[in-house]
Structure 1
């Protein structure tokens, strides 16, 4: 049984750039379940789901915002996850069901934790009560707004009672806090010097891990939000054959028209009786070569920018970044 659950604190779905970022993530990672925190929206429309790339085959459960903040949205591919019951709470949603192809009944909880001590106690207590009432395998994911220890924060400033409270909750719920592959932290305050914290994570119990023993937790690239997305997945899936696509933006890139005209003209000189099929085959080959050439086009693509940003942020976390790196980070984010 293979699946992927992606969790992301997007910090509001009001901007089209953030909606597009989720759409890009869904297209690239092809998750079966998507957890979004801090949506800052009330009702979820099918139009919004379509813009997020989650309209076809996806269903959803939404805990709306309170005032101008909060909001938790869970989405699942109905062809991959059979949802038997969903419950909505103030700061989390619960999906009770099973992945198709697996007989294990499980609950998937999408959480967005409070950042105050008083609210945090009630939050953990409420989750424990819900878990006690459902004797199934558990998987919790999201932004807990809490850390387990010193390794979860880069700077020397900790709330010891909050750390102990989170550790006590994990122990009381019999959850496993396992390794995050690809980095140590999931959030940055983007200040100088920056503070890095691991606020986002997946926690599973023994039964869930026994049902899916090849689980791994990955840090994904940071785009738009100040939080990294994280992914919980079994072994990597085969994406299969990739169909040819011609996107409109490619035709607007500098030099594209001239390249295509030259290709067709040269081909016509050698093939006077060229038919429609030959022409389309020529165009397809030329477009694929243009798209794969990273030096073509008017600017660096988004994937390359994300890699450069991730590299500089890694240097910031390790303390090896220079002043030039910090300036370059601002420029790269503006380009992205």
Structure 2
């Protein structure tokens, strides 16, 4: 059970949908919070179906900016408590767990309006005594170490945010991975990196999930990195390998021959057995043709981490080329 949060800067964009599909496929988050969706309800509904989630709350954008969406895997696991242009708050009920509260937050982007975000947190804190976690693009930082490049961040904004967290009893979670979640001007003299996306929790929530980890995911086409909140240590050895038909195979003439041969070889088997054996044969053949997609994606992400923190011209160029390669692989991996 995990929570994915991402300022996607347009949920309906093809590359964002591909990226979301891949993250959902790999990490299997139970909840997905998206901000700056810039998409109407019908478009977000289409994305929900593509990702395979049942529950959904949508806050439509105002004009060409904003918009929020919170998805959850099973309908009866989430109950809406409140929402606004800057938050979606739900009660989470999962069998065998204590009831808790999840809030997706999109902080006011205009500095002059930041107090509205602080007031929102104070208001939400008074609404319920349930164990509480908030996640999203807060548009606030906790210290000068949360920003690299550009002008110094105003002290009154840092102090105001920290005072709010103290007043309402929220703890800023440490981040595993790259310590900045937003960037602008990569490769230029005006390159800025800031940790705008974060997770805030109460002591009560940490008592329920003492082994929680927060990860910064790589490879996003947005200027924001997604966050993955995992309330317990993630055991990847529990993942099962399932057959999936890869879009890239359709461009290979041999694909049809592999299917025909398998079907004929197992003509006396029942339909379920035929499909199983055909899938196994396609999986072996497909790896020889297109390679192991998961391995290629992992290699790209390792390269991205290698180049990300460097500011020399060659590193910036390598980062951009690796990012293009990653999204070409995701495009090939599109599944029917």
Sort the TM-score into its range (normalised by shorter chain): 0.7 to 0.9
In structure 1, what is the equivalent of residue 220 of structure 2?
A: 223
Change (3 A) 1:260 1:54: closer
Residue of structure 1 equivalent to 2:333? none
Does residue 206 (structure 1) correspond to residue 206 (structure 2)? The answer is no
SS in 2 for 1:115: coil
Judged with a 3 Å threshold, the aligned counterparts in structure 2 of structure 1 residues 305 and 46 are, in CA distance, closer, same or farther, namely: same
1:59 maps to 2:55:
yes
- Pick from 26, 34, 39: which aligns with 1:28? 26
Give runs of aligned pairs for residues 172-251 of structure 1, distance below 5 A: 172-191=167-186, 192-193=188-189, 194-233=191-230, 234-237=232-235, 239-251=238-250
Could you tell me how far 1:150 is from its partner in structure 2?
A: 1.7
- Contact 1:85 1:97 (C-alpha < 8 Å) held by counterparts: no
- The structure in which a higher percent of residues are helix is 2
Q: Which residue of 1 is the match for residue 115 of structure 2?
A: 121
Residue correspondence of structure 1 range 101-120 to structure 2 within 5 A: 101-103=96-98, 105-120=99-114
Cα gap change, 1:39 to 1:280, in 2 (>3 Å): closer
Instruction: For residues 196-227 of structure 1, give each alpha carbon's deviation from its aligned partner in whole angstroms, at most 9, with x where no partner exists.
Output: 11110111000000011111111111321111
Per the TM alignment, residue 42 of structure 1 is displaced from its structure 2 partner at its CA by 2.9
C-alpha distance in 2, partners of 1:145/1:28? Answer: 28
Counterpart CA distance in 1 for 2:117 and 2:278 is: 58
Match of 1:13 in 2: 11
- Pick aligned residue for 2:133 from 139, 142, 161: 139
Q: Which has the larger displacement, 303-312 or 171-180?
A: 303-312
**For 1:106-125, what per-residue CA distance to the aligned partner results, in whole angstroms no more than 9, with x for missing partners?**
22110111122331102211
CA distance in 2, matches of 1:260, 1:231: 39
Unaligned 5+ runs, structure 2 = 328-336
Structure 1 131/311 Cα, relative in aligned 2: closer, same or farther at 3 Å? same
Report the structure number with the largest CA radius of gyration: 1
**Contact 1:128–1:173 (CA<8 Å) still a contact in 2?**
yes
**TM-score for the superposition, normalised by structure 2:** 0.82
TM-score, scaled relative to structure 1: 0.82
Q: Helix, strand or coil for the counterpart of 1:180?
A: coil
- Structure 1 residue runs without a partner (length 5+): 268-272
The worse-fitting range, judged by mean Cα deviation, of 115-124 and 233-242 is 233-242
CA-CA distance at 1:167 after TM superposition: 0.9
- C-alpha distance in structure 1 between counterparts of 2:39 and 2:177, whole Å: 31
Q: CA RMSD in A?
A: 3.1
**Measured at CA, do residues 59 and 225 of structure 1 come closer, stay the same or move farther in structure 2, by a change above 3 Å?**
same
Residue correspondences, number: 314
Change in 2 beyond 3 A, CA 1:322/1:33: same
